[in-house]
Each structure stands twice: as structure tokens, then as C-alpha cells.
Structure 1
């Protein structure tokens, strides 16, 4: 049996030896079984079990679906997740969908044993309650720190973080133990903040201010972030950083910390129904924790009041909550110059968001394109590139595979034939005993007919490969013609169809003054559409049709 091990620890205060200990316990468990061979190990270090966004965890799920191992060992089920729903979904994937075995070594849960569902469910609820209790304790501790004026998370432009260290105690890594973190004004950044407020007070818009800052090569707040991928707009200012949202006090121009007022506990994060994304929700003002710190003031009160008055008059900046994509190509069009999205800049036209919000210093691509023209040209190009002999051959290949899999699924269960045989034997025995009635005869005829049907189905060669698909070319043409042709009600599905086929569409300004779209027909995208059930298969009757 091929065995894999998954280990995880969540706190930076835990050492990497926690992973080694989990490995050791699982390895000892596997050694006590004959013919168990460990073929893979997965580990996520310092990542919470409340999230499924764990690289090794995701890779483990991919490998499990590909049947690269037969059994997964974990120290206990909480290593998989602290979320009871996530644990249950993972258990179902392993047992019901992939036919694999899942074992929690220390908590005694083995999916091969009867009643493991109950044990897994109880354990999942206990783990989730642990998260709830942990969140409460963390909230109480952060509240105490907020009331003391210490930083409880997040960074504000214009300030540095100063750790307060314990004079003698050390952490798990041998470094001085940090008791709290306080803010201190950064003189260089504070000067930029004052300049931003003065420019806005003098009539400049957030976009004009962002362009001015970018021209002067002043690093933005995001310039200090440790990003894995650096785009052309990395470290530059955007108008959204300045104006933010007035009601939620986001954005530099709305943040009361610049007058020495620190607000904590304004928002709470709600996990969505899909258990993957969280969304912020504003708390009632009565729950906000507000503390005054005159030593943190950067902006004079009269300047602050004038700026806030103008902000309230500029209603277009009052709310900038992100909206769901509205059109077919929304979130698919990318600027080849600065890698920003192309967004609707009028009711009819797409334009580069980087040029709009960061200015020509960051992105010189000021060209716009009609929404209807972009959809027409890009869909026409996509359909043309896909309707080739290569695409048709792949269509036939994947359709044949799906049809063969469906036929294999239709093969009757041998236990059904045994059940009918037993039923016929019982009826025959009753007849020999003298019990012969019209009902007995009718039931015998039905059972014999069912036996004949099951025998014919079993004799068919389920693994036979279909070599000829009726009207394959016409069906393939119809599938391509339907790409992107959905009503507004089903627009998200149409957008995902296009995304699966081309990914992102890059728009580059040409010397002649028009935009060039770079896209190629991605046949792997077509395979994704087939595998996701976009191809309707009709297997009724005696033949297979698509």
C-alpha cells in the first residue's frame, strides 16, 4: 500500500520540530503494518488550519485525486483543518469520490472502520470550537492592547513600528520576546502625508495627486510589501490609496490616525458560504475602540477639517466598494504596458485602470476600446483559432474518452444479476411446492426478462473505443459558436467559458495608434470545458450521440 503523510503547524511560536514529530509518529504507525510504503510527505509550516489556502495541502489533494497514494496518514484530523465543514468535505472526497483511506493516528479515526463518520464529525466540531474559543481569547488580548494604544495589526503610511521587548525572556527562536508594538512618526513619510493633504486642500484631485507623487518617484505604501511578483506598477501611487472610502475611514485622506485618533475594531471579517473567501463588515460605532494619541498627530486640525468637508462634497468618492464583473470581458482584459486591468471608463468603452488611477508616468497606454467592438473581435478571433483540424481532433479524442467512461459507468453491478438469480430460484422453488398463481407466473416472467437484460449488458465490451462520432465536425462547430453567447442572467458562466479558453487577454498599443489583442486558442481550455460538463452527452437508446 502506498502511504502519504501530511503534517502542519499553525503558530510561528512552534518550532519546525513539530513537523518532524508528526512525521515520526506517522512513520512508526506505518512501520507496524506490512506492505505499507511511504511514498510522499507533505508539510505546511506556520499556516493556520482555518484556511485551505495551504500550498502543500492543495498539492496533497491534487495528488490524492490522481491516485498517487492509497492511504493518507495525519497526526490527527485537526492537521487537515480546524473547519468542520472542510474536514467533512475532505473525508467525502477521499472515501466516496477517490476511494482512498484516511487515518488520524492519535485520535483513532480510520475511514476503513465502521462508524468513522460519527467520530470524524464529533472531532471536527471539537476542532472548530477550539477555533471559536481561540478567536475569543485573541480578541480579548487585542482589545487590551488597543486600549493601551499599542498597534493591533496593520500598517499606516507615515509611521514606523517600534517593538517593545522583554528585558530577559526569549521566544522559541532565541530572540527577545516582543511584548507589544507601538507606532512612531516617520519624518520622511510624514512630510509626504502633509503634502498630500495640502494638495487636496488646494483643489487637486486624488488622481492628480497620485500622478504628481509618481512623477517625483516617491515610493508608495505598497513599496515596502514583500510581494512575490513585481509588476510594472509595483511601488507606485494610485488614486484609490488616497481617497479610499469615507464611511469606512479608509484611504490616507480619511484616516483619523493623522490627527492622533486611533480607531480599532471597526470591521469584522465574515467567511462566505463557499468557505474560501472572507468579506469585511462594518461594526456599529458603539463597538469601535477609539484612543487619542497626540504624539501621533501629523495633520493640523484646521487642515483636517477643510479636507473632510471637501471629501463630503465629493460624492463620487463616498463609496468605492468593489463590484462584481458586469460584462463579458470584465476582469479578462489586461494592459500589456503596466499589467493593470482594462476597466469600463465610460458606459461604452474599456480603458487601462493603471493609466486612469496612476497617471501616464506609470502607464502611457491611454487608448480606449469600444466594449461591443472588443467582444465582437475577440470572440471572432477565438472561434477562428479554435476551429482547426487540431482542435477538431482533440474534440473527438476527449469526447470519445468521456463516452467510454460513461459507458463503463453504465455497466451493471454484478450483485444485481445475483439478486435476480436468487429471486428466480425462490419463485421456482415456490412453484415446485405447488404455489402456482397468476401473480407467481407474472413475477417469474419479469425476473427472467430482467436477468436476460442484465446478461446482455454484461456481455457488451465496455472498454470498446468509439472510433466514429456522428457529425463530429458539425457538433464541434456548434460548441464553438455558443462560446460567449449567453444571456445577462448567465453572464458569469459565459465569462468563465472564455477565461478557460484564453486565460487573460493582453492589450498592447501599436505605433499606429490602436490596440492589439494577444490571444491564442488554448485547446487545454477546450478540454476543461468538456470535463466540466459543458458538452452534453446523449446516451439514450442503442447508440452514443453527441
Structure 2
């Protein structure tokens, strides 16, 4: 059984958590799964590597060190918990894995997604699994956002640093649960009113920033004021008593969107409507053309490698600001190119998907993993029973005073091994296991991505773009290079 694993004896173990803020416990858990797998299949882990980085970062320090040793021929394979822990989910993750396997002759093995990737079907299944993993993450994000938005409609504070002029207090909801809400901070609220009054009276943003810093005032995060932080204050509707949630996007805090939660009267107002209107009237008088830049944070200059920035006006463009003459391209030209690339090279390039075969393969692999897990549970349970018997015999011997010091040391080793086995058994028997999937679920996940791209809002289309595309490079020759995730 699992003949494709034959010949793999020396392996590296690789683990990754999604952000630098996640606990190292997740990495330890991934390594434990790899260790159990290696033990069961008589493999030896000769090195462990881990990164605390987002999967979108091109350079992962430990990952690169591991690959250097892989290309030096030190191992037969690499173990990871799941394929999306090894590389980005999506098409480019599969390309990277195939490239490493072809050039080095090793095998990348996801111990929780065991499949025979020595066959074309197996490799195709791995690629599709990585793509669907990306879709599943998007669904999880959507569900989380829906729950957060439901909470926000009650004007509960959803976490983070409160705006200048406010503090967070505890309140009880209808069910008696403690929630957080914003209340006026009487120490800093007067400064907020002063800022609005200065701008309404004609002071420029630069003048106000200089005055605030000269007086030693600090932002809500304890830093010096900038034009950006001042701009955020003067546009924050909370100061007029309207609680807002889900404004902007990750890459554009001020982006307009039509699904913002707005609760009039949800927070106590610091300024009145008259002062708010005076400030916004000044902004409108200076407002120019506003555009949504789909490739913000994705488009890079092929000359210097830096990000290209959107530049407004009647004919908006993207431009690199580091060099003269500037490398520029019309906004409509490059955005249309990238959208067409996604349509024809990704979404419509994958045709005649046999979802039934795919579901059958995934579920067959899940069945195999369940069988393997049961074998490991049986093996550990038997060992635990033997250790229990040995421990009871040692206890009797210790009570009889036979070889006291040596027996105590042996008893301690048995106790430690028992704890290790109990921990492994609890993990093997715990929730999470192998997911069985239905044909309809596969179809729905695939169609969901296509529907978002073809029929969704501009925000949903942007989500698909950022889900599928890692970066776009504009070369000085005019060549546009699109790099998939």
C-alpha cells in the first residue's frame, strides 16, 4: 500500500504559519504530524524548517535555506502538513512544487492530504486541491465578515485602537454578555474639536500638522501627526455620531464601497453637524477626479522593482515615481489586460473538469488517510497498554526496594513516554481529520469564483484578482508580465 512512498527515507519537515503574529504552537503541531507520518512510514527527519510569514511573501528565509540543501541532494523528500503550508494555494503553488520535484527528483508530501502524485491524475488533483483551498479560505473570510458585520449593526466596537477622542467601555447586551462600545474620552475629545475648528477656519492640513506636533500632541497610537492621520480624522464619521464598519479595503482605506455598515447615533458625537458640514465643504471644493485602482499593491516597475502608483486626472495612469523619464501606462490599458488574462488564461482555460472523478479521488485519498490514522491509533494504543503494564511492575518493584534509584529513573521515562502517546492519541482522535467532499461542493466552489469575477461587484472582482494574481510587472519594453499565485 502507498508504493509511491517507497525509496523515500531521508526527509526534511517544513511548517509555516500565515502571519508573524501567530503562535509557534501551530508550527509545533505541524511538525508533530510530520513526525508521526515519518515514524509510521519508516522515514527519518534530518532537518526541520519553519517560517512565520504570509504565503504571499516571495522570500521565506528558512524555506530558501531548505531548498538549497534539497538541491544539494541531502534528502529524498519534504514533508509538510498540507500543500498550502508548503506554498501558496493556487496554480503557481503547483507549478513551484512540480519544478522542485522535476529538478531534484525528490517528492513533496502533504501528510494530511496524502495522494499519489507520481501520476498525471494525482498531480492534477494536487493542483485543483490547492486552488480549492484558496476558495475555501475566501469562504471562511466571507463568513467571518458576515458575523462581524452583524455585530457591528449594534454599534459594538470590533477591536483595535479606538479613534482619538474616544475610549472603549464594557456594556451588556440583551443576553447579558459583555460587549465593547465607544465612549467619549474627555481628555482627548477637546483636541478633536480643535482640529475640526482649525480646518473649518481655513488652516491648511500642513499648518495644522505642524501646530499639533509643535504642541507635543500625539495620535491615538502615540505617534506624531502626519497629513494622512489628520486626513483620516477629518473624514471619520464617528466624530459626528455615526458608527461605521467595513469601510475601504486592505489596500485602499478610503475606497468607496456599497456594503459599509453605518449606524446613525451608534456612538456619542464629538462635533455637531454644522462643523462637520463646514469641513466636508472645504474638502469638496478641492476634490479632483477619483478613481479606483484595481492593481494597487500588485503592479511593479520592471526597471527598479518598486510598486507603481495610481495617478489621477481625466486620463488616469500608473507610474513609477523613482525614475525619470517615468515608466507609465494607462490605467484602462493595463487593467483590461490583466482582467482579460484572468478570463482567458485561468477561468476559461480550465475546461471539461471531471468533478465526479475529482471528488472520487479526493475521497479515496481521505479514506486512505483515515485508514492510516486508525493504524497509528491502534499501534499507539497497544504501546500505551504495554507501558501501563511495565509501569505497574516497576511500582511494585520500587515498593519492594529493589534497585531503587535505577527503577525510579526508568519509571520516569515510562511516565514521560505515556504522556507523549496520550497527546498523540488525543490529536489523532480529535476534530479536524479528513474532509470528504461532494461533487456538488466542488462545482459550487468553482462556479462561485467565476460568478464573482463575471457578475460580482467591483469589490468582489478585485478580491478574485488578488486571490489569483501575485504581482504584475510592467517592463520598460512595454511587455506586461502576470505572475499567478
- Normalised by the length of structure 2, the TM-score is 0.51
- 2:15 matches 1:27: no
Aligned residue in 1 for 2:271: 299
Matched residues in 2 for 1:281 and 1:252: separation?
12
Aligned residue in 2 for 1:237: 225
* CA deviation after TM superposition for structure 1 residue 111, in Å: 4.2
1:66-85 Cα offsets, whole Å, 9 max, x none, are 53653210122243357223
* CA deviation after TM superposition for structure 1 residue 325, in Å: 9.4
Task: Confirm or deny: 8 A CA contact 2:212 2:225 kept in the other structure.
Answer: yes
1:104-125 Cα offsets, whole Å, 9 max, x none, are 1122135456643123123223
Q: Alignment partner of 1:188: what SS?
A: coil
Aligned residue in 2 for 1:476: none
Task: Confirm or deny: 8 A CA contact 1:150 1:182 kept in the other structure.
Answer: yes
Q: Alignment partner of 1:83: what SS?
A: coil
- 2:212 matches 1:191: no
Q: Alignment partner of 1:263: what SS?
A: strand
Task: Confirm or deny: 8 A CA contact 2:199 2:208 kept in the other structure.
Answer: yes
- 2:69 matches 1:63: no
Matched residues in 2 for 1:34 and 1:329: separation?
49
| Match for residue 308 of structure 1 among 280, 289, 305 | 280
1:465-505 Cα offsets, whole Å, 9 max, x none, are xxxxxxxxxxxxxxxxxxxxxxx972999xxxxxxxxxxxx
Task: Confirm or deny: 8 A CA contact 2:303 2:476 kept in the other structure.
Answer: no
Task: Confirm or deny: 8 A CA contact 2:83 2:89 kept in the other structure.
Answer: no
Alignment CA distance shift 1:38-1:299 (3 Å): same
| Match for residue 90 of structure 2 among 80, 84, 87 | 84
5 Å-filtered alignment, 1:351-370, equals none
1:226-255 Cα offsets, whole Å, 9 max, x none, are xxxxxxxxx221122223xxxxxxx21121
Aligned residue in 1 for 2:235: 254
- 2:165 matches 1:158: yes
Alignment CA distance shift 1:58-1:15 (3 Å): closer
Larger Rg: 1
- RMSD of aligned alpha carbons: 4.5
Q: Alignment partner of 2:202: what SS?
A: coil
Matched residues in 2 for 1:255 and 1:200: separation?
14
1:125-178 Cα offsets, whole Å, 9 max, x none, are 332232132122112201211111123455423223346699xx9xxxxxxxx9
Alignment CA distance shift 1:326-1:316 (3 Å): farther
Q: Alignment partner of 2:476: what SS?
A: helix
Alignment CA distance shift 1:252-1:135 (3 Å): same
- 2:254 matches 1:266: no
Aligned residue in 2 for 1:490: 476
Aligned residue in 2 for 1:4: 12
Aligned residue in 2 for 1:134: 140
| Match for residue 52 of structure 1 among 53, 56, 74 | 56
Aligned residue in 1 for 2:217: 218
Matched residues in 2 for 1:165 and 1:79: separation?
40
Task: Confirm or deny: 8 A CA contact 1:259 1:301 kept in the other structure.
Answer: yes
Higher relative contact order (CA 8 A, sep 6+): 2
Question: What residue ranges of structure 1 are gaps of 5+ in the alignment?
Answer: 170-177, 224-234, 244-250, 270-277, 333-370, 374-487, 494-546
- 2:296 matches 1:290: no
* CA deviation after TM superposition for structure 1 residue 213, in Å: 0.9
Q: Alignment partner of 2:164: what SS?
A: coil
* CA deviation after TM superposition for structure 1 residue 26, in Å: 1.1
* CA deviation after TM superposition for structure 1 residue 297, in Å: 0.7
Q: How many residues align?
A: 301
